[in-house]
Amino acid sequence: MVSLSLTSLFTVCMALAAPLGAIASPAPASAHAERGMDKRWYPIRPKVMIISMFAPEDVWTENLKLDQNITLPGLSPLFPKVGCNAEGTICQMTTGESEINAAVSVTSALLASEFDFTKTYFLIAGIAGVNPFTGTLGSVGFARYAVQVALAYEIDARQIPSNWTTGYYLFGSDGPGEPASTIYGTEVYELNTNLRDTIIAYTDGVSLNDTEGAAAYRANYDYAPANQPPAVFKGDVSTSDAYFAGSLLDEAFGNITSIWTNGTGVYSLTAQEDNASLEAMARAHTAGKMDFARVILMRTASDFDRAPPNQDTIFSFQTNQGGFSPAIANIYVAGLPIVEGIINDWDTVFGGGIDPQEGWAFNADVFHTFTQRKREMREFERVVRRSNNVMSRR
Ligand SMILES: *[C@@H]1O[C@H](CO)[C@@H](O)[C@H](O)[C@H]1NC(C)=O
Ligand SMILES: *[C@@H]1O[C@H](CO)[C@@H](O)[C@H](O)[C@H]1NC(C)=O
Ligand SMILES: *[C@@H]1O[C@H](CO)[C@@H](O)[C@H](O)[C@H]1NC(C)=O
Ligand SMILES: *[C@@H]1O[C@H](CO)[C@@H](O)[C@H](O)[C@H]1NC(C)=O
Ligand SMILES: *[C@@H]1O[C@H](CO)[C@@H](O)[C@H](O)[C@H]1NC(C)=O
Ligand SMILES: *[C@H]1O[C@H](CO)[C@@H](O)[C@H](O)[C@H]1NC(C)=O
């Protein structure tokens, strides 16, 4: 109850454009004790919130001593708490895997009255499959777009018309390659590319983890960057509950990424959560609970999404490609300088925010919620002004 009323108070305050300081509220005593952070009041205002999807991706809690536990309702039963450092500047949570876990866990954290995320940078940091034309095992990708590629009709490939290249085609269309005419709103998200450029610079010169096993498997590819050592690169992420593999599905979803991004997105990495986390964040942004221009999507490559030229899809998919351990290691190798950079350069670079690219607010989500919201706010302000005028004339 307490958290509900605080949440709606928060929303009302935001709608009236009250200063953020006005909303700070004392923590309930019991939560305080659990947190072990005496003499502090909620809400906690993290500068960085790291989002992991499953246990191996949490390379943070031990290394950064994120041992202040804040248990929140609505998180995964497997990962029921957010962990923060003693200062409350860096926090981490684990969503649980795939779209439903990601959506529900991230929503629950973002709506919790124990936190004020309005100035927080979010680092979604997990492992992913990689398109060998854009990266290799252990590579670290930073996304502009996340596309929910399997939000589509599907007909088993054995029963598709003879002139179709795939069984996947978009809602409201008549076949593959056509744009959707029915939109659910979670199909594609665009992130702040100026923030992406800024934080990638902090990874300059890092020594990415590489192993003999990963090197041996990538040598099966006869093209770069698949057969080269891992590197940091820019590439977009697909989201799908179905863990797909093989060149035909990869090309089909690459084509769908292209449709949703008007040809500007490059399908590079594939995972099961990002659009769900981003939808939770887009809604929280619209409610004034966080800033969607402060989201970083980093995925490190644990396996190739398609077989090398001399292997079967199923053999490649089921074999140990050797990419898991460098991918996990590189979450920390590439992520730590970003987390430290945000903390150290808060006053000079990050605190005030990094302006997104032109047109970003329109494309941030398919429903254009953010620009819609601005129009609503302008209308709201006009109504307030008008009623103030009426009042003053009385
Ligand atoms: C926080 O939770 C972890 C388990 O996730 C536990 O190991 C740790 O002891 C807890 N910290 C405190 C201060 O209770
Ligand atoms: C397949 O053929 C049908 C019938 O000729 C045609 O209407 C349709 O556009 C074709 N589809 C594709 C994806 O080429
Ligand atoms: C990185 O790679 C080496 C092998 O080259 C390995 O021994 C090491 O433990 C790896 N992991 C980390 C976290 O550095
Ligand atoms: C992807 O699109 C290209 C260009 O339209 C097409 O040639 C190719 O067959 C498509 N691939 C799949 C698997 O749908
Ligand atoms: C693609 O173009 C459509 C139509 O102009 C526009 O509504 C949409 O926002 C664009 N999406 C991206 C990601 O550029
Ligand atoms: C999912 O989110 C990614 C990352 O922001 C975005 O690039 C992509 O277009 C989104 N996909 C869909 C189908 O929403």
Amino acid present at 50:
I
Q: Is the pTM here over 0.85, yes or no?
A: no
Report the pLDDT value the prediction gives residue 303, as an integer from 0 to 100. 94
Burial 204-235 (b: 16+ CB within 10 A, else e): eebebbbbebbbebbebbeeebbbeebebbbb
Residue 304, helix vs strand vs coil: strand
Ligand nearest to the CA of 166: 4
Residue 176 CB–ligand 4 contact under 6 Å: yes
Report the pLDDT value the prediction gives residue 200, as an integer from 0 to 100. 97
User: Which of 56-65, 147-156, 229-238 is the least confident region?
Assistant: 147-156
Distance 267 CA to ligand 4 centre (A): 13
Report the pLDDT value the prediction gives residue 28, as an integer from 0 to 100. 44
pLDDT digits (tens, 9 = 90+) for 132-169: 999 999 999 999 887 767 778 888 999 999 999 999 99
Residue 36 CB–ligand 1 contact under 6 Å: yes
Q: Whose CA is nearest to atom 3 of ligand 2?
A: 163
Q: For a ligand 4 pocket test, name from 178, 244, 248, 251 the mutation site with the most ligand atoms within 8 angstroms of its C-beta.
A: 251
Q: Is residue 364 within 8 Å of residue 282, measured between CB atoms?
A: yes
Q: What is the CATH number of domain 36-151+186-393?
A: 3.40.50.1580
Report the pLDDT value the prediction gives residue 387, as an integer from 0 to 100. 65
Residue 86 CB–ligand 1 contact under 6 Å: no
Of 247, 214, 252, 268, nearest in space to 314 by CA:
247
Helix (H) or strand (E) holding 132: none
Distance 303 CA to ligand 6 centre (A): 20
Residue 311 CB–ligand 1 contact under 6 Å: no
Tokens, residue 114: 């124990």
Ligand 3 nearest-atom number relative to CA 209: 1
Angle at Cα 285 formed by Cα 373 and Cα 379, nearest 5°? 20
**Strand 90-94 to 48-52 pairing:** parallel
Ligand nearest to the CA of 322: 3
Kindly report the backbone phi and psi dihedral angles of residue 64, in degrees, each rounded to the nearest multiple of 5, phi listed first. -100, 10
The more confident residue out of 68 and 41 is 68
- CA distances for 346 relative to 24, 289, 337, 342, 352, angstroms: 21, 20, 13, 6, 8
Report the pLDDT value the prediction gives residue 18, as an integer from 0 to 100. 30
pLDDT higher than 60, residue 26? no
Residue 131 CB–ligand 6 contact under 6 Å: no
- State the Cα–Cα distance between residues 318 and 19, nearest whole angstrom: 54
Report the pLDDT value the prediction gives residue 55, as an integer from 0 to 100. 96
Residue 363, helix vs strand vs coil: helix
User: Which of 194-203, 208-217, 263-272, 277-286 is the least confident region?
Assistant: 263-272
| pLDDT > 70: percent of the chain | 82
Q: Tell me which DSSP letter residue 42 carries.
A: S
pLDDT higher than 70, residue 191? yes
- Other CB atoms within 10 Å distance of the CB of residue 23: 17
Q: Tell me which DSSP letter residue 227 carries.
A: T
Q: For a ligand 1 pocket test, name from 34, 52, 68, 69 the mutation site with the most ligand atoms within 8 angstroms of its C-beta.
A: 69
- State the Cα–Cα distance between residues 187 and 257, nearest whole angstrom: 9
Residue with tokens 């009302």: 12
Report the pLDDT value the prediction gives residue 5, as an integer from 0 to 100. 31
Residue 154 CB–ligand 1 contact under 6 Å: no
